[in-house]
């Protein structure tokens, strides 16, 4: 067998082939990590949505309302807003625990507030609002972002286009106002 001496071209081809194999291997490993991270994020998102949806299916009866009581007020025929405590913020959704009358019972229910690009987020100090009066109420309110809402905040969500939300567990809001 003759002694083969490798030429510079064959060494260059070998080095190039090795570089290509290493590059492809690194790309496959990178893509594996990338898609695994995407899978984990998607799984986490599905779990959060499942958790949020399970919140909507809970209604707690706090007490029966005595309709013979002198302070009894019947249920409102139309409801445009709900007030309550934030229990989860996951843009573009805000989950709020609200207490209200339903079928002559005081209930506590988690509501899903849907927001969009036209939803206004405001905050106000109740004492300041009272000082300036109703005619200057807008001056006492400041604009905030959905990210400024925290679990435990007291908010009022107003339905978009004055939609009656009396029997709804989720609705699109025209504004969300945080009381500080």
Q: What DSSP string runs through 89-106? A: EETTEEEEEEEEEETTEE
**Can you give the pLDDT at residue 179?**
92
Q: What DSSP string runs through 76-145? A: PS---EEEEEEEEEETTEEEEEEEEEETTEEEEEEEEEE--TT-EEEEE-HHHHHHH-GGGGGGGEEE--
Tell me the per-residue pLDDT of 59-109, one tens digit each, with 9 for 90 and over.
666 565 555 555 445 566 788 999 999 999 999 999 999 988 777 778 888
**Can you give the pLDDT at residue 57?**
60
Rounded-to-integer distance, Cα 65 and Cα 107, Å = 10
CA-CA-CA-CA torsion sign (74, 80, 81, 87):
positive
pTM for this predicted structure: 0.62
Tell me the per-residue pLDDT of 106-158, one tens digit each, with 9 for 90 and over.
888 899 999 999 999 999 988 888 888 878 888 889 999 999 999 999 999 99
Rounded-to-integer distance, Cα 106 and Cα 97, Å = 13
Rounded-to-integer distance, Cα 54 and Cα 129, Å = 36
What is the pairing mode between strands 105-114 and 170-179?
A: parallel
Q: Taking the CA of residue 172 as centre, how many other CA atoms within 13 Å lie in the half-sphere pointing to its CB?
A: 8
- For residue 169, what is the DSSP state? S
**Can you give the pLDDT at residue 56?**
61
3 state SS of 166:
coil
Q: Taking the CA of residue 74 as centre, how many other CA atoms within 13 Å lie in the half-sphere pointing to its CB?
A: 2
Tell me the per-residue pLDDT of 31-43, one tens digit each, with 9 for 90 and over.
888 888 777 776 6
**Can you give the pLDDT at residue 166?**
85
Structural contact between residues 65 and 106, judged by C-beta atoms closer than 8 angstroms = yes
């Amino acid at each position: 067998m003759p002694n083969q001496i490798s030429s510079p071209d064959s060494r260059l081809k070998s080095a190039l082939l090795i570089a290509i194999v290493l590059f492809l291997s690194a790309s496959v490993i990178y893509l594996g990590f990338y898609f695994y991270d995407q899978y984990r994020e998607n799984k986490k998102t599905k779990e959060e949505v499942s958790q949020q949806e399970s919140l909507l299916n809970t209604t707690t009866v706090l007490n029966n309302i005595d309709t013979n009581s002198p302070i009894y007020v019947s249920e409102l025929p139309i409801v445009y807003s709900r007030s309550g405590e934030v229990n989860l913020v996951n843009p573009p959704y805000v989950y709020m625990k609200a207490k209200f009358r339903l079928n002559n019972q005081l209930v506590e229910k988690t509501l899903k507030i849907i927001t969009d690009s036209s939803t206004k987020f405001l905050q106000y100090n109740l004492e300041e609002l009272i000082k300036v009066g109703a005619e200057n109420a807008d001056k006492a309110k400041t604009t905030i972002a959905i990210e400024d809402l925290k679990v435990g905040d007291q908010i009022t969500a107003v339905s978009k286009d004055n939609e009656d939300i009396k029997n709804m567990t989720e609705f699109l809001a025209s504004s969300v106002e945080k009381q500080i």
